[in-house]
Structure 1
Amino acid sequence: MKITVDMDKCIGAGLCVVAAPQVFAQNDDDGLVIVLNENPPADQHEAVREAARLCPALVIHLQDDND
């Protein structure tokens, strides 16, 4: 899995951090998302999918390894 984020549209809601704190964080200055690991391990994939689903701005994009 590879994670990309459209930073121009991120609103800093932080739901991604709540859903997958080992993969996402927030910038202290503006609250925008920081991807800690753009290629998370398999045990984090479901949390990352949940983070993408929860994102109100729909800025988290996932590409599965077999795409």
Structure 2
Amino acid sequence: MRLHLDTDLCEAHGQCVLVAPALFALGDDDEIATVLDETPGPELRGQARAAVLACPVTAIRLEED
């Protein structure tokens, strides 16, 4: 599994950070989110899927292996 964040679409709503704090963070300037782990293990799949669904601008994509 691989997480992709389209930084051109990200508007820093922070929903990904709320549902997947192990995978996403907001920077000091809070302009865009950052991916903390682009290849999360199976224990974080639920959080990764929740982040994809929570993003109001569909900036997060998940590629399954």
Q: How many residues are treated as equivalent by the alignment?
A: 65
- Residue-by-residue CA offset, 1:6-41 (whole Å, 9 max, x unaligned): 100101000000101001001111341110000001
Which residue of structure 2 lines up, in the alignment, with residue 28 of structure 1? 28
TM-score (normalised: structure 2): 0.94
Q: Which runs of 5+ in 1 are unaligned?
A: none
Q: Alignment partner of 1:30: what SS?
A: coil
Cα contact 1:17–1:25 (8 A) shared by 2: yes
Letter in 1 for 2:22: Q
Superposition CA RMSD, Å: 0.8
Is 1:58 aligned to residue 51 of structure 2? Answer: no
TM-score, length basis structure 1: 0.92
| Whole-angstrom CA distance in 1 between matches of 2:22 and 2:44 | 8
Q: Structure 1 counterpart of 2:10, which letter?
A: C
1:35-46 → structure 2 map (5 Å cutoff): 35-46=35-46
- 1:56 maps to amino acid: P
User: Given residue 17 of structure 1, which amino acid in structure 2 is its aligned partner?
Assistant: V
Spell out structure 1 runs of 4+ moving beyond 4 A.
Answer: none
Unaligned runs of 5+ in 2: none
